[in-house]
Structure 1
Amino acid sequence: MPASLLISAPASGVGKTTLTLALARAYRDRGLKVQCFKSGPDYIDPAFHTAATGRASVNIDSWAMDRATIGALAARGEDSDLVLAEGSMGLFDGSAAKGVWGTGATADIAEMMGWPVLLVIDPSGQAQTAAAIATGLRDFRAGVRIAGVVLNRVASPRHEKLVRDALAGVDIPVFGALPRHAAIALPERHLGLVQAEEHGEVDGLIAEAARVVTTHVDLDAVLQAAAPARLPQRPSSPAVVTPPGQRIALARDSAFSFVYPHMLEAWRAAGAEIATFSPLANEAPDAGADVCWLPGGYPELHAGRIAANTRFRRALTSFAETRPVHGECGGYMALGGGLTDAGGVRHEMVGLLGLETSFAQRRLHLGYRLAELVVPMPGHQVGARLRGHEFHYSTIVSQPDPSLAVVRDAAGTGVAETGSRRGNTTGTFFHLIAEDR
């Protein structure tokens, strides 16, 4: 059983991703097989994990997934030397109400798997108070064990000593301290990090982060603090997410890349084939496919090109005359009639749905979603209950087509983003994570 650690923090924006990538690459450089996971609904971080380790990373989520599914996904780490799981938001942050069995909090996964928590703490603007925060996190929930702390953005050696002494006074180990001006931050965009495949220098950035962390963090002490996971009993067969078809034409480029890795793996495990194509390259979906799927991404950044790519738009329109087409979030927007960018310019989209969206006045839509289908969509019939997550800044200007589903947030409150259907075309604002069984 591999040694395991879960990297978390008191809040978002503290440096969890950078530290996870740096540690993963540093241990890989030592010759260890490192397996990463992402706790929670993030479709960008796993690609960076994969770049750092050379092994595919997947999401695990206590709100959307049952324990058997998490166990089946976590089992991929059994042949590794070290598991590094990255948390989301703060350690105990989750939804207002429980989902399948948890709230989606990182602490749920830490307790279930028995993964000790390595805290990243940014003590900017404080000193001894950092120890109070770490103590509160340590004592907040039985069953969640804090292994120690890495300090990030430390101002000076004096600052570091004050914080270290305070943490020593409450018996919380400090494994290292990264200076405030260490140039290891990864580029960001409004939905999070710039995608790994977009950034040509990602390998160099990860290598530099690993070098800095190797200099300032006691890697041997971190490794000794890791503990074997408590893998739940593995199911006789892995949990299945029904593929939308036998041969799936999947849009895949910088505008359409937000799809959870475990979904693609589940489709393939169920016997489906995936044929990728690029709308930005004006490519048509595979003529031999029986369904087309457009994931989310950043269509608003490429709206002009999408509007100009008539071969793609005509081919997709022709495809939809006889076969189902589905879009998630950004893919849903691209299937609509038009998209208005942040500058107020409207761009014509594919027009398979009547949806009109706008980024001219940004408004955050964020949270878990439970959808009950009122009409079918690819792979799922009327009445199917699907668990997913919504995260975008677009505003619905018009959504004239019949609703796809009754959609509620984690607290059970209905939301306006119901998705829609017209003919063979469907779309949702939420990204599918798992089926509700």
Structure 2
Amino acid sequence: MRGKTKALLIAAPRSGAGKTTVTLALLAAFRRRGLRVRAAKCGPDYIDPAFHEAAAGAPCLNLDSWAMGPALLDSVAYEASDGADLLIVESAMGLFDGAGTGAIGEGAAAELAVHLRLPVLLVLDVAGQSQSAAATVLGFASFDPRVCIAGIILNRVGSDRHRAAIERAVATLDIPVVGAIPRDKAIHLPERHLGLVQALEHNDLELRLQRLAELAERHCDLARIQGLAAPLTVDQRPISALPPPGQRIALASDAAFAFMYPHVLSGWRRAGAEIVTFSPLSDEPPPEDCDACWLPGGYPELHAGTLANAGRFKAGLTQFAASRPVHGECGGYMVLGEGLVDAGGARHAMAGLLTHATSFADRRLHLGYRAATLLQDWPLGSGTRLRGHEFHYASLIEAGSDEPLAELFDAEGNALGPSGGRRGYVTGTFFHAIACEEDLAGQQKIAKLA
């Protein structure tokens, strides 16, 4: 059990309230003060954790109470807090938002707060309101007595007078206001269709983080915020979320293939696997001394022309796939197909190892938790139940003739039909795997914990 690391959860009533900005500002400020900080992200997200890693100087892991059982959650939380004085967990969406129809959604940050006993620092976007902010705080503080709203940070404050009016109203609730961040368009991070522009694409990221640290130091009571954190007490027994697909795994890794969960990679390494990265955008083939190849998700639609002209990569991938497993998740699945239509309507030839084709020209959001039953033998097993998610705008324009890889179900158990494909040693699907469902077997739902 670990009790030395202290932890807290940054949450908000909704998306877009400024959680990520506040989280990055606090991470950067505490780190600048010499504190050993780590970050974790609630729910399925690849983009925010890369920013958290840059701010904390250490990997950021995902904690997902829908896809992970309690034991796996404890294991990942322990790993996420390794060596830290303070672990800051950023919520997804609103604090109580998740899947299903319950008052607290399955996979909601509130579930995680209950399970890990995390105090909540609530970020309120107070633009366009004043004393009414106190009513929001009261609602969140009283909605579920198991969730502790320990403090409040006001965001997008218009003036000292604006702040004072809100603080007077909130004072009646006995919940401290520990920060008030003014409106400042200069701290806004640019976005694209899947969220923020990736951290690796910002040449000025270090400067941005320095500015955010200064913002937190000027407008937040850092000592008081640190004091709100509670000891993190979790089981340190290591658990692997997914079995490794091979002993030596070639992993595509660059701006087009950046969506890979750190807890999956660390689990593979604990199982004895070695990860060897290569860059398709640099026209690198998967290394020949590997016995499996994994193409993760990312933004291949933004680099379709470069990938289409990457002759060494495509030829090497074809040679690799003749005798060893190759799997593509989401963006990787798109690249394994016959063609990819970009936003401008131009079609680009992809690897052609599967027979489908995808398009980003006619965008439609596919978003949600998914359970998957594998229909084919592949490195993660056959008949295995996985939990994960879909998040993409691309669509299939040619279904192809490959055998389906998996049967998908939504978070409520509704059948969504077959997904992905398999041909020879090659498999792919839009589905992102987070963990084997066996980790949830026989375990009490976190939302019902007392």
Mapped to 2, the partners of 1:230 and 1:269 lie a distance apart of 22
1:186-215 Cα shifts (integer Å, max 9, x gaps): 222211122222212111111110101110
TM-superposed CA distance for 1:229, in Å, is: 2.1
Match of 1:381 in 2: 381
Match of residue 151, structure 1, among 136, 151, 154: 154
Letter in 1 for 2:163: E
2:198 is aligned with 1:166: no
Mapped to 1, the partners of 2:187 and 2:210 lie a distance apart of 9
Letter in 1 for 2:389: H
Mapped to 1, the partners of 2:217 and 2:227 lie a distance apart of 15
SS of the residue corresponding to residue 318 of structure 2 reads helix
Moved more, 35-44 or 290-299: 35-44
1:310-340 Cα shifts (integer Å, max 9, x gaps): 1111111111111111000000001011111
Work out whether residues 246 and 272 of structure 1, in 8 Å CA contact, stay in contact via their aligned partners in 2: yes
Match of 2:98 in 1: 94
Mapped to 2, the partners of 1:114 and 1:240 lie a distance apart of 22
Letter in 2 for 1:354: T
Match of 1:346 in 2: 347
Mapped to 1, the partners of 2:133 and 2:356 lie a distance apart of 48
Work out whether residues 421 and 427 of structure 2, in 8 Å CA contact, stay in contact via their aligned partners in 1: yes
Match of 2:442 in 1: none
List runs of 5+ in structure 1 lacking aligned partners.
Answer: none
Match of residue 204, structure 2, among 192, 201, 210: 201
Letter in 1 for 2:236: R
Mapped to 2, the partners of 1:361 and 1:416 lie a distance apart of 22
TM-superposed CA distance for 1:241, in Å, is: 2.1
Following superposition, which runs of at least 4 residues in structure 1 exceed 6 angstroms of deviation? none
Work out whether residues 112 and 230 of structure 1, in 8 Å CA contact, stay in contact via their aligned partners in 2: no
Match of residue 186, structure 1, among 161, 186, 189: 189
Match of 2:368 in 1: 367
Mapped to 1, the partners of 2:355 and 2:117 lie a distance apart of 48
Percent of aligned pairs with the same amino acid: 54
2:82 is aligned with 1:81: no
Work out whether residues 407 and 417 of structure 2, in 8 Å CA contact, stay in contact via their aligned partners in 1: no
SS of the residue corresponding to residue 7 of structure 2 reads strand
Match of 2:8 in 1: 5
Pairwise mapping of residues 218-237 of structure 1 onto structure 2 (< 5 A)? 218-231=221-234, 233-235=235-237, 237=238
Match of 1:71 in 2: 74
Letter in 2 for 1:110: A
Mapped to 2, the partners of 1:56 and 1:21 lie a distance apart of 14
TM-superposed CA distance for 1:270, in Å, is: 0.5
Work out whether residues 417 and 429 of structure 1, in 8 Å CA contact, stay in contact via their aligned partners in 2: no
Mapped to 2, the partners of 1:418 and 1:141 lie a distance apart of 38
TM-superposed CA distance for 1:81, in Å, is: 1.2
1:252-275 Cα shifts (integer Å, max 9, x gaps): 000001000111111111100111
Q: What TM-score, normalized to structure 1?
A: 0.96
Letter in 2 for 1:295: P
Mapped to 1, the partners of 2:83 and 2:105 lie a distance apart of 27
Pairwise mapping of residues 300-339 of structure 1 onto structure 2 (< 5 A)? 300-339=301-340
Letter in 2 for 1:385: R
SS of the residue corresponding to residue 51 of structure 1 reads helix
Work out whether residues 62 and 102 of structure 1, in 8 Å CA contact, stay in contact via their aligned partners in 2: no
Work out whether residues 371 and 411 of structure 2, in 8 Å CA contact, stay in contact via their aligned partners in 1: yes
Match of 2:219 in 1: 216
TM-superposed CA distance for 1:182, in Å, is: 5.4
Work out whether residues 68 and 239 of structure 1, in 8 Å CA contact, stay in contact via their aligned partners in 2: no
TM-superposed CA distance for 1:185, in Å, is: 2.1
Work out whether residues 313 and 350 of structure 1, in 8 Å CA contact, stay in contact via their aligned partners in 2: yes
Letter in 1 for 2:254: D
Work out whether residues 68 and 234 of structure 1, in 8 Å CA contact, stay in contact via their aligned partners in 2: no
TM-superposed CA distance for 1:144, in Å, is: 0.6
SS of the residue corresponding to residue 415 of structure 2 reads coil
List runs of 5+ in structure 2 lacking aligned partners.
Answer: 439-450
SS of the residue corresponding to residue 169 of structure 1 reads helix
TM-superposed CA distance for 1:97, in Å, is: 6.4
Match of residue 135, structure 1, among 133, 138, 142: 138
SS of the residue corresponding to residue 144 of structure 2 reads coil
2:431 is aligned with 1:427: no
Q: What TM-score, normalized to structure 2?
A: 0.93
2:50 is aligned with 1:47: yes
Moved more, 162-171 or 7-16: 162-171
TM-superposed CA distance for 1:78, in Å, is: 5.2
Work out whether residues 365 and 392 of structure 1, in 8 Å CA contact, stay in contact via their aligned partners in 2: yes
Q: 1:40 to 1:240 in 2, by over 3 A?
A: closer
Q: 1:417 to 1:89 in 2, by over 3 A?
A: farther
1:134-193 Cα shifts (integer Å, max 9, x gaps): 111111112110011111111222222222222112222111111112522222221112
Match of 1:398 in 2: 398
TM-superposed CA distance for 1:416, in Å, is: 4.9
Q: 1:183 to 1:53 in 2, by over 3 A?
A: same
Mapped to 2, the partners of 1:234 and 1:292 lie a distance apart of 30
Match of 2:444 in 1: none
